[in-house]
């Protein structure tokens, strides 16, 4: 099957997204010459495959409920923001807030992610082959993150029920984040996630599991609590 070619040099962002939205399930589209264009492949519900041939900007694949998207380069802020279903794979690095407020689906970053990756995560999966910056997993309420490299300061600050696995070093944990015992089930999950991401460098038996201490769930005026 030949892809539908949509050139950013010839079409506006709105024209590209409208063309993508009208493709039938099972279609394959290739977006060429993105040159850092923002808001590509946003709000799509059809089950299609999209290749973005180069570096792209902010909010790539945001609000998706179906497509499988591959970006052959770097991306800017909030890739896969509010993702519901489908996948977004970034062949390079990702800037701030990757996967912000995601509810479902899978985001795979083959390079590094900057700060606040997985902020306010509400479900779904974020896989990062390399490092993540500070405040990643901030207020993550549900879902899973796998970090194949190191994590910056304040990892998992104000964490709720999301689980974060880190293969490398953790600079520091945020408020209410704790290192938890790694179970056989955790090892099984990490093996599956590493296989899904194509991360051969991760040793599932040696990752660190980060979860919530649940001490910030309820405010107690009689305790010396810090917020």
Residuewise pLDDT in 10s, the chain (227 residues): 799 999 999 999 999 999 999 999 999 999 999 999 999 999 999 999 999 999 999 999 999 999 999 999 999 999 999 999 999 999 999 999 999 999 999 999 999 999 999 999 999 999 999 999 999 999 999 999 999 999 999 999 999 999 999 999 999 999 999 999 999 999 999 999 999 999 999 999 999 999 999 887 765 655 555 55
Q: Output the pLDDT for position 223.
A: 57
Which pTM does this prediction carry? 0.94
Q: Output the pLDDT for position 84.
A: 97
The counts of H helices and E strands in the chain are 2, 11
**Cα 1 from Cα 195, distance rounded (Å):** 27
End-to-end, the C-alpha distance of the chain in Å comes to 55
Instruction: List all residues 6 or more positions away from 43 whose beta carbon is below 8 Å from its beta carbon.
Output: 17, 21, 62, 63, 64
Q: Output the pLDDT for position 226.
A: 54
Q: Output the pLDDT for position 1.
A: 78
Q: How many CB atoms lie within 10 A of CB 223?
A: 8
Q: Output the pLDDT for position 81.
A: 98
Q: Output the pLDDT for position 208.
A: 98
| Chain position carrying tokens 């201490």 | 213
């Amino acid at each position: 099957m030949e892809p539908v070619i949509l050139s950013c040099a010839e079409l506006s962002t709105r024209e590209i997204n409208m063309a993508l939205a009208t493709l039938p399930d099972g279609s394959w589209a290739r977006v060429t010459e993105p040159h850092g264009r923002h808001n590509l492949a946003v709000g799509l519900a059809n089950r299609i495959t999209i290749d973005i041939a180069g570096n792209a900007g902010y909010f790539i694949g945001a609000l998706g409920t179906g497509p499988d998207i591959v970006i052959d380069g770097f991306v800017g802020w909030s890739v896969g923001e509010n993702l519901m279903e489908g996948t977004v794979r970034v062949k390079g690095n990702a800037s701030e807030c990757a996967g912000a407020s995601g509810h479902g689906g899978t985001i795979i970053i083959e390079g590094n992610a900057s700060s606040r990756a997985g902020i306010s995560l509400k479900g779904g999966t974020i896989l990062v082959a390399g490092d993540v910056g500070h405040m990643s997993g901030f207020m993550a309420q549900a879902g899973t993150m796998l970090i194949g490299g190191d994590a910056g300061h304040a990892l998992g600050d104000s964490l709720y029920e999301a689980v974060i696995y880190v293969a490398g070093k953790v600079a520091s944990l945020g408020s209410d984040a704790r290192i938890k015992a790694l179970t056989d089930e955790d090892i099984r999950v990490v093996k599956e996630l590493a296989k899904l991401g194509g991360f051969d460098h991760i040793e599932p038996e040696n990752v660190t599991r980060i979860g919530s201490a649940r001490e910030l769930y309820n405010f107690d005026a009689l305790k010396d609590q810090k917020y």
